[in-house]
Structure 1
C-alpha cells in the first residue's frame, strides 16, 4: 500500500480524503494557494506545499506546480478530488510519466468519458440512449444560434470539460443562446483551461438520477445504487438523496447494468458516475460520465457502507475489488444538503467574508440515526471569492426516507453559521416543502416553486404559536437574569411580569407565562396552553426546547425588546412586550429604507468583467448592463426597466463589495 498520497485539491474534499487516508495509515500531503494558507485541509495534512497565488489558474490547476509539489514531497500517489485537475488527461499522463499513481481512471478512460462530446459518441456507438444534440465543437456564437435552431429550443449550452454547473447555460431563444455561448466559454476557460462548447436538447420536466460505479483493473465492475440529484439551482445540485424515491427495482437494475457496461467498454477503473435524465415514464437517457469522485458520494456511502475513497485508493494500488454485485445492499435512506456561502434573499448570489461563528450539529452514527458533516472550513476562517462557494455537505441517514428528512430538518436547525450569507434557510424550506416530502420533483423544482426567488419561509399558524410560546418562556428567563444582575435580588420574581404580547410574522399573541422548576406553561388568550421546557441559558445562540410536546430548535440573537429567531427556514424578529409597551409600539412610524431605485448596486463581492453600456445610453428592460464574476461564476446584471444611464462608476477589472454603486440612472 502507498505510504504517502498528495491531494491535488482543497476544501472539504481534501479533508474528506485525508480522513480515509489517515484511517488506512497513509500519510498525506496538502497543496495550498496564498488564500488557503490557513485552510483546514492544510492543518489536517501531515505535510503542506505552497503552489502559488489565489486564482486557481495560477495555482491549483497549473500542472507543473502540482508536479513539483509531488516530486518535492515524495508522494507515491495523487488523489485529485473533484473539479480542478480531476478529469484532466494531461495531468494523468504527467503522473504516469513520473511513475506516480493516479487515484482515478486510466488516461484513455478520462479522454473517452471525461470529455462530454466524446463520451456521448461512445455511448451512442454502444447503443445507449442519449439526448439529441450537436456533438461537434462550436466555434462562434453565430454557429451556436444556428445549431440551436436546428435542434429546437430550449437547448443546454455546456462546457465539454465542465462539471459542477460551471460553463453551463439554458437558452430559450437566439439572444439567450448568443449570450450563453460566450459566458459558457469564458467560465470554461477560467475554471478548466478548456473553452470547448457543445449543445444538446434541454429535456423539460426531467429528473436527474445518477449511478455510482466502481471498477478495478482486473475486469470487475459493480454499481452501488443511484442518487437522486433533481433539486438544482443554476444547474448546480443543492440537495441529493439515495436511493431515488422515483425508481423501481427494474429501472434501477437496467440503469446500473448499462452504467457498468459503458464503464467496461472504455476500460474504466476507480469510482465514477454515470448520469442520466429520467422522464416521467422512467425512460432514461445517458447524459454524461464523471470520471472522478462526485460531491454527493457520502449518501451512497451511507446506504451501502462502502468507503468510496478507500476503494479508489485500493484500486489505484492494483488491488481487485472484494465486493461483488450481490454484496451491494441498499440500507435505509440518506440525504445531503450542500451548505453554500451565498445569500438566498439576494437570488443566491455568492457571499464572502469571515466565519464569525461556525458550529455544525454534533455528528452521530448509530443503527437508527446518522448525522455527518463533510467540511473544509472552521470558525474564524475566511470564505474566499476565488473558489466554489460550497463550504460543507450536511448528511443524514435514517431507516426510511421520512426519518432521514426529519433528521435533516433537526440538523439544519442546529447548524450555526454567522458572518456570511448562507443558504441554510432555503435548505430548511425544501425539507418542509410538500412536493419534496412526497418525492414529486424534477430539476425544475426550484424554478417552479420559487419563481420570484426565495424570500424566506412563512410559518403556519401552529408552528408560529409554538415559537411564540417558546420565546415568551425564554424571555421570562432572560428578564429574571437581568433583574438579578441589576442588584434587585429581593422578590425578583414579583418584578418580572407574567403577561406579555409576543409579536412575530405580523401577528401578535397575548400570553400568560406560569413558571415552575421544570419549565413554563404558556396560556394564550384563546385558552390554548403549551408546555415549554428547555435548559437554555440567556446568551446561548442555540436553544433546544420542547414546546407543546414536540422538539423545537431555535437559533437566537438578541435585538431590542426581543430576539432574532431562525427556525425551519424562517427568519423572524420576535418582540416580547408588556401589554402597554405593545399598545405604544403600534403608534411608532415605520422606518423606510433609502431609495436606490435609480442605481445599479453590486449584488455580491466580485470582479467587473465588462460594462456593456456607456453614459448617456438609453437602456431597455432586460438589457445587459454589466457582468460580475464571483466564485468562478459570471453573473449578467440587467436593466429592470427602461432608463437612461447618467453615471458609470466602474470599469472592467474593478473589484467591488456588496451594494457598491455600479451605475446611476436618470
Structure 2
C-alpha cells in the first residue's frame, strides 16, 4: 500500500501539533491490537488451504489481506485491462480470464470455474458485484465440490430478486414499502402502474444493486425515460432487464443493518451504517453509527433483520437495507447477500473482521460472537474516493493513469482500502473507485477531523477525483449537525457542486504559501545561474514585489526573507512562513501560519508563465504570480477569442455510445435526447442545449469516445 511521503522533518515538527488537534489519538491499546479485537484469528482453527477471489480491485486486495493472516493461499483472476493491477501482484497465484469487458471476464462463470479447477482452489470468495449474488454461479461451484464463501442458493434466489425479497420480508414480519407486486412489461405499463401507486415512484431493476438500473420518476415523462434507461443499464450490469416500481419515500434516510449468521442457525446484527449521502442512488459518504437512530429503533431494526435471516436460513455476512422516514418509521428496501462496499466502518466500531467471519462460516464453524458482545466503540466515516469530476452532476467518470498517488496512511486512525497504486490506470470498463478512505475516532467529531486531515493530504494526480466534494461535505453545517437524507446533495448543492469558496483569511494563507514557493524557485534559479558563467544577478534577491491574479482580482503582494522566514504582506495582512516548510521536491506542504493550526496545501502544478494550481481545503485554485514589470506587460497581450459551443454536443466523460437517436439533417429541439453514452456501467442520456439541424455526426453505436470529444454539431 502506497503511503503519503512527507519529509521526516515536517512530520517531526508538526505531528506534536496534530496530536493537540486530536488527530493522532487511538483507542486504548489499539496500536498493539489493531482494529479487529472481537473474536480475533485463531491459528489453530481449521480453514481452507487455497481460495480463489472472483473479483478485482480494492475488495480483492482486502480479502487477500485477511486470507494471508489466516494462512490461506490466494488465487487472483484478471482481465487484460487488469494484468498489472495491485490485486494480481498481492495474490499467491493469478489466472488470466479474458478481455476487459466484464461480461467476457469477471462475469464469465465458465472461465472462473475453470480457473478454480486449474489451481486446485477449495473455495471462492466473490467480494461484491460481479458474480457475488449469482445463484447459478454457486450451483456450478457446488457441482465441482467447491465452497462458496457466501450464503446458500436459496438465500441468493430469495433476496436477489427484489419482488421475491419483498414478499419474503413481509412474511417474516419486516416492514415493507408499498408498490406493485409484479414485473413491469414495458414503458406504457410503467406509466400505468406509476399513476396507480402515485408519483413519485422508484423504477428499479429487479435483479439490481449498487445504484445501477434505478431512476426516480415524478411524472409520466420521467417514467417512460426512466424505464428505458434503467432497463438498458440493468441488462448491461446484471444480464436481467426486469423492472419493478414502488412508492418513493421523499426525504428518507438510507440506514442499513449488518448481519452475520452461521450454518447452525445463529444470527447477530452488528449495528447500523448511515448511507444517506448519495448521488445517482450510489453512496458517497457513509458513517457508523447513525446520528439519527435511538437505541429503541436500532434494536427494532436489528431484530427485524435477524428475523428475516432466520426465515431464510441465512448464513455468512449480509446487509438488510431500510429507508427511514423523519419519524423513524423504517421500511425494508432490499437485502444484499454479500459483503458491502462500506463494511470497514462496521469493522472499526465493532472490532469484527467480516472477511474472517465469512471464511469461518463457509468452513462450517459456529459464530463465537453473541449479540451481547456487539458494542459501538467510537465512530467511523468512509469517504468513497472516485475518479469522477464532482463539478459535473456530482461526479461524471474520469479515466487516466495515476502518475502520482500517495495515500494519507501516515495519519493515525486512517485506513485506505484501495486496489490501485502509483502507475495504475483507471479505465472505462469498471467502477471508478480509487479508494475507500476510512477514518475512525473516539467520537463523530474526531472521525470528521481525521477525515478532513486525510483528504487534505491525499495526493492523486492523473485523473479528476471527487475529493473537493467529499471535503466540502465534511465541513458543511447540515452534515455536522447530522441533518441528512438521500436528498442531501440536491438540497445543499441545488445548483450543483461549485467548489469551496474561500474567505479572505484562507485566501491570504493560500496566496502566502504560493508566493513563498515563487520566492524559493526564484532564489534557487538565481543561485544556480550565479554559480555558472551566465551571471544574471550579481546578488540573490531577498525581496519581491508581485501581483497575484486570483479569483478576478489583481492583488499586490510584497515578499521579503529574513531569519529563515518569508514575510508576506497582502494589504494590511502580514503572514510569516518558515522557509524550510516549503520543499520544492514535495507536492504536499505542511506549514504553520501565525498562531493558527497547521495547514496542508498541495502544489498541483506551476509553469514558466507564473501560472500556479494549488489544492487547498480539497479544491483546486488557479492563480498567476507575476513580478510588477511582467504584470505591466500583460496589457499588451491579446486575449484568446471565446468559442461558441451552444450548437455542439461534447462528451462530458469517456464512454461507449450505446444508442444514437438522430441523423444528419434531422431537426432537433432543445433538451431532446440525441444519444446515450455508457460510462463505468452507468447510462447517461445526452441532450442538446439548443434547437437546430444536425450538421455533423461523429459517432455511431458501439463507438468509444473520450472526454471533450465532439459528438454532434447543429446548425
Equivalent residue, structure 2, for 1:356: 403
Q: Does 1:423 align with 2:471?
A: no
Q: Tell whether the 8 Å contact from 1:12 to 1:392 is kept in structure 2 after alignment.
A: yes
- 1:166 Cα shift? 0.9
Superposition pairs of residues 99-248 of structure 1, within 5 angstroms: 99-248=145-294
Task: Assess if the C-alpha contact under 8 Å between 2:542 and 2:560 holds in 1.
Answer: no
In structure 1, the gaps of 5 or more residues are: none
Range with bigger deviation, 448-457 or 322-331:
448-457
Task: Using structure 2 for the length normalisation, give the TM-score.
Answer: 0.89
Among 83, 91, 95, the alignment partner of 1:37 is 83
> CA offsets, 1:313-356, max 9 Å, x none?
11111111111111111111111111112222333221212122
Q: Give the aligned partner of residue 700 of structure 2.
A: 651
> Which whole-Å CA distance do the structure 1 matches of 2:363 and 2:155 have between them?
18
Distance (Å, rounded) in 1 between the aligned partners of 2:105 and 2:570? 61
- Please point out which of 661, 669, 681 is paired with 1:612: 661
Of residues 601, 614, 618, the one that matches 1:554 is 601
Residue of 507, 510, 530 corresponding to 1:464: 507
Q: Give distance in 2, aligned partners of 1:436 and 1:589.
A: 46
Contact 1:480 1:492 in 2 (8 A): no
> What SS class does the counterpart of residue 486 from structure 1 fall into?
helix
Please give the alpha-carbon distance, in whole angstroms, between the structure 2 residues aligned to 1:527 and 1:420.
36
2:385 is aligned, of 322, 339, 350, to 339
What is the alpha-carbon distance in structure 1 between the residues aligned to residue 410 and residue 545 of structure 2? 40
Match of 2:670? 621
1:528 Cα offset (Å) = 4.4
- Match of 1:123, SS state, is helix
Instruction: For residue 310 of structure 1, give the secondary structure of its aligned residue in structure 2.
Output: helix
Alpha-carbon distance between aligned partners in 1 of 2:545 and 2:441, rounded to the nearest angstrom: 42
After superposing the two structures, state which structure 1 stretch, 234-243 or 182-191, moved more: 182-191
3-state SS of paired residue (2:196):
helix
Q: Which residue of 2 aligns with 1:320?
A: 366
Q: 2:487 and 2:71 mapped to 1: Cα distance?
A: 44
The change in CA–CA distance for 1:459 and 1:527 in structure 2 (over 3 A counts) is: closer
**Counterparts of 2:576 and 2:445, CA distance in 1:** 26
Q: Secondary structure at the match of 1:463?
A: helix
TM-score by length of 1: 0.95
Q: Which residue of structure 1 aligns with residue 714 of structure 2?
A: 665
Counterpart Cα distance in 2 of 1:257 and 1:594: 61
Aligned equivalents of 1:152, 1:249: Cα separation in 2? 33
Contact 1:470–1:532, Cα closer than 8 Å, also in 2: no
| 2:420 alignment partner, SS class | coil
* Paired residue secondary structure (2:429): coil
Do the aligned partners of residues 507 and 384 (structure 1) sit closer, same or farther apart at CA in structure 2, a change above 3 Å counting?
A: same
Structure 1 partner of 2:33 = none
1:345 aligned counterpart, secondary structure: coil
Q: 1:566, 1:572 within 8 Å by CA — same for their partners in 2?
A: yes
Which string of whole-angstrom CA distances, capped at 9 and with x for unpartnered residues, describes residues 190-224 of structure 1?
Answer: 11122221111111111111111111112221111
**Cα pair 2:191 2:220 within 8 Å, conserved:** yes
CA distance in 1: counterparts of 2:565 and 2:274, whole angstroms: 43
8 Å CA contact retained: 1:473, 1:532: no
The within-5 A match list for 1:471-486 is: 471-486=514-529
Higher relative contact order (CA 8 A, sep 6+): 2
Name the structure 2 match of 1:450. Answer: 493
Find the counterpart in structure 2 of residue 487 from structure 1. Answer: 530
CA distance in 2: counterparts of 1:261 and 1:470, whole angstroms: 58
Correspondence 1:15 to 2:77: no
* Deviation at residue 551 of structure 1 after TM alignment: 1.7
How many Å separate the matches in 1 of 2:297 and 2:520? 56
1:49 is matched with 95
Is the Cα–Cα contact under 8 Å of residues 258 and 269 in structure 2 kept in the other structure?
Answer: yes
2:644 aligns with one of 595, 602, 608: 595
Aligned counterparts of 1:492 and 1:437: Cα–Cα separation in 2: 56
Work out the CA distance in 2 between the residues paired with 1:46 and 1:493. 60
* Structure 2 unaligned spans of 5+: 1-46
Q: Deviations over 1:558-581 (max 9, x none)?
A: 132242101223211133333444
Contact 1:480 1:493 in 2 (8 A): no
Contact 2:177 2:247 in 1 (8 A): yes
| Paired residue secondary structure (2:284) | strand
Question: 2:133 is matched with which residue: 38, 62, 87?
Answer: 87
**C-alpha displacement of 1:10:** 0.7
Secondary structure, aligned partner of 2:683: strand
- 3-state SS of paired residue (1:495): coil
Which residue is equivalent to 1:302? 348
**CA deviations over 1:72-107 (Å, ceiling 9, x no partner):** 111111110000010111111222222111111111
> RMSD between aligned alpha carbons?
1.9
Instruction: State whether residues 405 and 460 of structure 2, in contact with CA within 8 Å, keep that contact through their aligned partners in structure 1.
Output: yes
Contact 1:138 1:196 in 2 (8 A): yes
Q: What residue is the counterpart of 2:333 in the other structure?
A: 287
Matching of residues 380-419 of structure 1 within 5 Å: 380-419=423-462
How do 1:48-67 residues align onto structure 2 when only pairs under 5 Å count? 48-67=94-113
